[in-house]
């Protein structure tokens, strides 16, 4: 298991645009994880994860966040033998 954790940690990547997203307010019951393509649309991410803060609303607080991709090549090929081996 330790080697899997090291591998997953090595697959966390950020684009230049993702580096600029440094604060936000996650939706109340969000785990902070969504599926996305590498060429994501920020509006989609915002709609799925973020809560819009209304002026004067003290219940939604922006916090420091870090947006990253977990880049797992070939994992999406469910009919591929490599995928069978990974989930085996």
pLDDT along the chain (88 residues), means of 10: 82 85 82 71 77 73 84 66 63
pLDDT for residue 54: 72
Please give the full DSSP string across 22-78, using - where no structure is assigned.
-EE-B-TT--S-----SS--HHHHHHHHBPPPPTT-SSS--EE----EE--TTTT-T
pLDDT for residue 76: 61
pLDDT for residue 86: 64
pLDDT for residue 34: 74
pLDDT for residue 79: 64
């Amino acid at each position: 298991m330790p080697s899997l954790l090291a591998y997953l940690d090595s697959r966390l990547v950020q684009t230049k645009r993702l580096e600029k997203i440094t604060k936000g307010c996650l939706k109340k019951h969000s785990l902070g994880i969504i599926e996305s393509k590498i060429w994501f649309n920020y509006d989609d991410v915002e709609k799925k994860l973020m809560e819009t803060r209304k002026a004067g609303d003290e219940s939604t607080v922006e916090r420091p966040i870090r947006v990253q991709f977990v880049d797992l090549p070939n994992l999406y090929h469910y009919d591929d033998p490599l995928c069978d081996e990974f989930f085996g």
